Amino acid sequence: MSIDTTETKVAPKRGMSILFSLTLLGLLLFLWLLLGFATNSFWTPNNISNLLRQGAMTAILAVGQTFVIITAGIDLSVGAVVGFASVILAWLLAAGLPVWLAIILTLLMGVAIGSFHAFGIVRMGLPAFIITLATLTSLRGIGLLITNGSTISISNEAFTNFARADFLGVPSLFWMVIVVAVPAYIFLHLSRWGRYLFAVGSNSEAARLSGVNVNRTIYMAYILSSTCAAFVGILLASRIGIGNATQAEGWELQAIASSVIGGTSLFGAVGSVQGPLLGAFILATINNGANLMNVNSFWQRIITGALIILIVYFDQLRRRGSR
């Protein structure tokens, strides 16, 4: 049996994902129009720039998280990886390393963390929930030990100015979303490795019998997730100008929520790149609009939680109907 048989199985899902993505895009535009009428400050250049910066880092995290969820896994450590990456980068820069080398080493640290997660799942037989939860706690502690419970300042102005700069009138952080999204789309939707992720999430044993190296595919998914998180940590360090292990607390939930709102099934084998990107900016728009309208921040969390419950519920109904 050839793995090419999975192509016919995922083709209808791709059509559904495009239709769902257009629906999400329509919802995002509707929210923008609604907030444009409800507030006087939503369409101001400063607010739109702030909105794009707010959503950019969550969007990149959501793309990485999507690779893992498609395999029917989960990565709860991405927020901690972001904070830890900011500490590592700031520590390397303080040690005198050039920016380019510090960035490469920080990304390699992300690769190492993702490899550790996959090793725990594949070789040790640990549930993804447990190994990534353990890493979440450990990385916060290691980061606090490195900084002695404080922060590490970044004095390189060229680096810190990057996150605040614009290119062609668009924030640099949003351009980083494009830099990640384009190769991610090609990888997930136009390559055989992307088909392997869907195959493993659908039925790992059937994928193995079809010739897929399941273990290697799981390694690939978790490495991509942690590397995306490390990249976001670099961007966060550029934006705030410090390395802080306590930063990005709760961002893993934002990433998961963005991915789920974007149509990724927590049961695996269903997902896209464009969906989580739109989901991230829908969440950012809701939070931004709530702030502009002086809505209590607790309501923002309630709305996010309600959206996740509704979407997962309808995903369950869809799965039952397709059996």
Looking at the chain, how many residues does it have?
A: 323
The verdict on residue 10 lying in a domain is: no
The verdict on residue 251 lying in a domain is: yes
Amino acid identity, residue 162? F
Mean pLDDT of the region 257-270: 90
The verdict on residue 19 lying in a domain is: no
Cα torsion at 129, 130, 133, 139 (round to 10°)?
-130
The verdict on residue 121 lying in a domain is: yes
For residues 84 and 88, give the distance between their C-alpha atoms in angstroms, rounded to a whole number: 6
Q: What are phi and psi of 293, to 5 degrees?
A: -95, 10
Contacts of 321 (CB under 8 A, 6+ apart): none
The verdict on residue 262 lying in a domain is: yes
Mean pLDDT of the region 152-181: 93
Q: Are 51 and 285 in contact (CB under 8 A)?
A: yes
Q: According to the model, what pLDDT value does residue 201 have? A: 94
The verdict on residue 25 lying in a domain is: no
Q: According to the model, what pLDDT value does residue 113 have? A: 98
Q: According to the model, what pLDDT value does residue 88 have? A: 97
- Distance in Å from the first CA to the final CA of the chain: 23
Percentage of the chain beyond pLDDT 90 is 74
Report the 10 Å Cβ neighbour count for 162.
17
Beta-sheet pairing, 152-153 with 242-243: antiparallel
How many separate domains does the chain show? 1
The verdict on residue 12 lying in a domain is: no
Tell me which residue range forms the domain holding 297. Answer: 45-321
What are the tens digits of pLDDT across the range 41-74?
999 999 999 999 989 999 999 999 999 999 999 9
Domain containing residue 296: CATH number = 1.10.3470
Confidence at 134, pLDDT banded by 50, 70, 90: very high
The verdict on residue 34 lying in a domain is: no
What are the tens digits of pLDDT across the range 68-113?
999 999 999 999 999 999 999 999 999 999 999 999 999 999 999 9
For residues 164 and 242, give the distance between their C-alpha atoms in angstroms, rounded to a whole number: 14
Highest mean pLDDT among 105-119, 155-169, 276-290: 105-119
